[in-house]
A and B are shown apart, each in its own frame.
Chain A
Amino acid sequence: RKEVEQDPGPFNVPEGATVAFNCTYSNSASQSFFWYRQDCRKEPKLLMSVYSSGNEDGRFTAQLNRASQYISLLIRDSKLSDSATYLCVVWKGSARQLTFGSGTQLTVLP
């Protein structure tokens, strides 16, 4: 079983749609959680951190459920520029290593 598992995708949605991505992680010792965004042929960049209380950044909402070891990302009012691969990422702390999910590809259609 992979340490971080994501929706396989791809997701093709019209502009203005709301789309949700899910992610589960297997290591209960994981300390911090993130969503990274990777554009085609580019390096990954941090989109947002994920907190148990839930956090929002504009059209993006991230949620963590530690009991279920489940992470989500909600994108409202999708824009063409949101088209990218979204990576669920877990940080275990002591070794300072990031573990990446396989990514979910999103294409927002005009």
Chain B
Amino acid sequence: SAVISQKPSRDICQRGTSLTIQCQVDSQVTMMFWYRQQPGQSLTLIATANQGSEATYESGFVIDKFPISRPNLTFSTLTVSNMSPEDSSIYLCSVEDLGNGGEAYNEQFFGPGTRLTVL
């Protein structure tokens, strides 16, 4: 299984500022995703981080608010821009390695999450 680390593990930020969250994987993986888990809620997919091209965003999420980078197969960043208290949440990255390129599901592993509080 992939070992995933995220930085920072938690942060408290002022409204109007931006925070960049890093996700590092110990091996090359095909797919990387960013999720949000608001207090008491389940996980919602923000976007798929694509290497070498723009991320693919889900409905309700836009690049200006959540810019994402993926410079290689082991690393991605998510920025939460112009933060407001409504952005207080846990942000998790997950990875799926397609291995031999088959279409079948391969287990997605999740990072430990970044707990963000916006004041």
Interface residues of A (CB under 8 A from B): 31-32, 42-46, 49, 87, 91, 93, 95-103
Contacts and interface: CB of A to CB of B under 8 A. Distances in A.
15 contacts: A43-B92, A43-B111, A43-B112, A44-B43, A46-B108, A49-B105, A87-B42, A87-B43, A93-B103, A96-B96, A97-B45, A97-B48, A98-B45, A99-B45, A100-B43
Given A43-B113, A97-B48, A102-B41, 4 more contacts: A43-B92, A95-B56, A96-B96, A99-B45
Interface residues of B, number: 21
A97 B47 CA distance: 9
A103 B42 contact: yes
B99 to A, nearest CB: 13
Contacts of B92: 43
B105 A32 contact: yes
Interface of B: 31, 33, 41-45, 48, 56, 58, 92, 94, 96, 103, 105, 107-108, 110-113
